[in-house]
Structure 1
Amino acid sequence: MTDLIRILLCEDQTLMRQGLRTILELEPGFQVVGEAVDGEEAVSQYNQLRAVDNGPDIVLMDIQMPRMSGVQATAALTTSDSAARVIILTTFDYEDYVFDAIKAGAMGYLLKDVPADELMATIRQVYAGEPSIQPKIANKLLIEFGRKGRSAAGTARSPQQEELSPREIEILKLLAQGASNRRIAEKLVLAEGTVKNHVSNILSKLHTENRTQAVYLARERKLL
């Protein structure tokens, strides 16, 4: 039996939001558990749903919205819940937007003109713990990483790559599967605080700011 994937929609345009809900609920195994019209409401609904054990598995998030943007909401969700899985669904593919969304912890980035079957596949991929970015968006992300890296190099020396320990690689592989600190601690028979320390060390050694970036970079460096 296929797992039920619970989805929270965050989109300020009513027609777009209703259309997405219709498309998603026609897909077997998908359930829309909430709708939000801006980032602030998305964060509130996410926390309310978690409180009654119906927390969303996936958040589909627009970027430009009133009160709180999609990037700000994504950062708030991933900060409060390390297991939060956010997919940005937007009309914008500007380098800064892509970079900021990934930096905030988004695990996917899609344009709204994406075919329905690609949207469904991306949701399933991110649900399985695999980051997913459209190829043309990934190119823009790499360009932005390169641009910011060159800019930083003008004021500071590039940090040397530090080698990860076998235990850190083991934990990184579990992070790539979307495991929370608690799940990792249970699987490896470690204290949750120990896992948090390992995760901090991984982020520090890879010079990344969150788990999504760490997994993305680890795949690029063929550490996974």
Structure 2
Amino acid sequence: MTPQIRVLLVDDQPLVRAGLRVLMADSPDLAVVGEAGTGGEAVRLARELRPDVVVMDVRMPGMDGIEATGIVTAGPGAPRVLVLTTFDDDEYVYGALRSGASGFLVKDMALDDILAAIRVVASGDALIAPGVTRRLIAEFAARPEPGPVPTAPTGLTAVTAREREVLTLVGRGLSNGEIAERLHISAATAKAHVARLFTKLDARDRVQLVIRAYEAGLVP
């Protein structure tokens, strides 16, 4: 049997947690191992229960989801984090992605889509949906942070011309297969380029590669 994906639900709204919990009860590959209503509880339970995926709200009393995400994802063997947010008014998503989140969920998404997203993240990939995700990242990436802004992200000078092309396409939300087709290379070669970009740009997953692409000005 396929091992279950162990999920920790973190949201200060009990109804949100209850809805996910009930739906996941009908999914044999998913198991809720704990629930938390604050960032502090999330950090404690993540250490105690060692889930595979943490579904993390952003706005919570006390420690918010951004700070909790940074703590939860630190260190080897850390769980993956999906940030739960509201696209129209949540201005903290970009910070959460910087803190190590592997993607985000929008609260008005269909529940089945949320379950599919949990599986994607648990598999080691990141949630970069063309359209919504790129628009969200683009909005927050365009907002300068306080202090000096570097001319390029660390390690970009080591990126080859071909890798820069691949990074640009990753930033536009293309999959490895789509990148291979666009650049007329094999899927294995595209995957190898992406793997090297992970190393050169110190990126945890494709979400962080998207951020690097926006920071470098490769994606308008």
TM-score, length-scaled by structure 2: 0.68
Q: Mapping of 1:81-160 within 5 angstroms?
A: 81=76, 83-94=78-89, 96-134=91-129, 135-148=131-144, 155=148, 158-159=151-152
Specify whether residues 79 and 43 from structure 1 end up closer, same or farther in structure 2 by C-alpha distance, changes over 3 A only: same
Determine the structure 2 residue equivalent to 1:183.
none
Q: Which amino acid aligns with 2:151?
A: S
Determine the structure 1 residue equivalent to 2:166.
none
Equivalent pairs, count: 177
Q: Tell me, yes or no, if the aligned pair for 1:85 and 1:126 is still in contact at 8 Å.
A: yes
Q: Tell me, yes or no, if the aligned pair for 1:110 and 1:133 is still in contact at 8 Å.
A: no
TM-score, length-scaled by structure 1: 0.67
1:59-102 Cα shifts (integer Å, max 9, x gaps):
01111111110111101111245532000112344473221110
Determine the structure 1 residue equivalent to 2:19.
19
Q: Distance in 2 between matches of 1:117 and 1:40?
A: 28
Unaligned runs of at least 5 residues, structure 1: 50-54, 166-200
Deviates more, 1:134-143 or 1:102-111: 134-143
Identity percentage of aligned residues: 37
Q: Mapping of 1:11-50 within 5 angstroms?
A: 11-49=11-49
Determine the structure 2 residue equivalent to 1:78.
73
Report the alpha carbon displacement of residue 40 of structure 1 after superposing the two structures with TM.
0.2
Q: Which amino acid aligns with 1:137?
A: T
Report the alpha carbon displacement of residue 147 of structure 1 after superposing the two structures with TM.
3.3
Report the alpha carbon displacement of residue 214 of structure 1 after superposing the two structures with TM.
4.3
Q: Distance in 1 between matches of 2:149 and 2:105?
A: 33
Q: Tell me, yes or no, if the aligned pair for 2:84 and 2:104 is still in contact at 8 Å.
A: yes
Q: Which amino acid aligns with 1:143?
A: E
Report the alpha carbon displacement of residue 215 of structure 1 after superposing the two structures with TM.
4.1
Q: Tell me, yes or no, if the aligned pair for 2:7 and 2:31 is still in contact at 8 Å.
A: yes
Unaligned runs of at least 5 residues, structure 2: 161-196
Q: Distance in 1 between matches of 2:77 and 2:142?
A: 27
Q: Distance in 2 between matches of 1:157 and 1:75?
A: 22
Q: Tell me, yes or no, if the aligned pair for 2:54 and 2:81 is still in contact at 8 Å.
A: yes
Q: Distance in 1 between matches of 2:109 and 2:37?
A: 21
Specify whether residues 93 and 28 from structure 1 end up closer, same or farther in structure 2 by C-alpha distance, changes over 3 A only: farther
Q: Which amino acid aligns with 2:71?
A: A
Q: Distance in 2 between matches of 1:143 and 1:211?
A: 21
Give 1 or 2: higher helix fraction.
Answer: 1
Specify whether residues 23 and 164 from structure 1 end up closer, same or farther in structure 2 by C-alpha distance, changes over 3 A only: same
Report the alpha carbon displacement of residue 16 of structure 1 after superposing the two structures with TM.
1.8
